[in-house]
Amino acid sequence: MDSNVSIITSDKGERLAIAGGNYRVIISGEQTSNNYAVIEMIVPPGGGPPPHSHPDIQEMFHVLEGEVEFKTEAGKQTLQKDGFVNIPLGGAIHCFKNNSKEYVRLLCTVVPAGLEKLFKEIGTPVGPGEMLPMPEMTEERKQLLKEMDIKYNQKTYPPDFLG
């Protein structure tokens, strides 16, 4: 009997510098027939993405360590270890930010897979624990992010959009 069980140790997975953090693609859509992907996100103090929406992807976050503020159109809430957020299909605008002085570790699951492909295109490969500063927002970088929004059916909003 053929087994499709995946066992992935903590030293495996592609690591990418994203938005000042270190994201590890634990399991990608390539490994799950594009059904889902799981990404571990280590977010530094002050880190987190701008408000955005992606109507074709359900995104779930489990706070593994630290404290993080999630914002949606319905308001904001700070979550600590073992807090959970579900962003359903349909394009709810959301973002998160680490307002603490400690690193935050999130487990992000996306259904279907695809968001990890965006991360691979905009991120820089890094090693475990390696953090790179936020990329400078040059005109070229702005244009790349606009192209990625179109390619991945995502919309990004100004940083103060959700207040």
pLDDT at 2: 57
* pLDDT confidence of residue 138: 83
Is it true that domain 14-126+134-156 has CATH number 2.30.40.10? Answer: no
Give me the pLDDT at residue 102, please. Answer: 95
Integer Cα distance of 106 and 44 in angstroms: 11
Count of other CB atoms within 10 angstroms of residue 125:
10
Residues in the chain, pLDDT under 70: 1-2
Q: What angle do CA 57, 63, 66 make, to 5 degrees?
A: 140
pLDDT digits (tens, 9 = 90+) for 13-43: 999 998 888 999 999 999 999 999 999 999 9
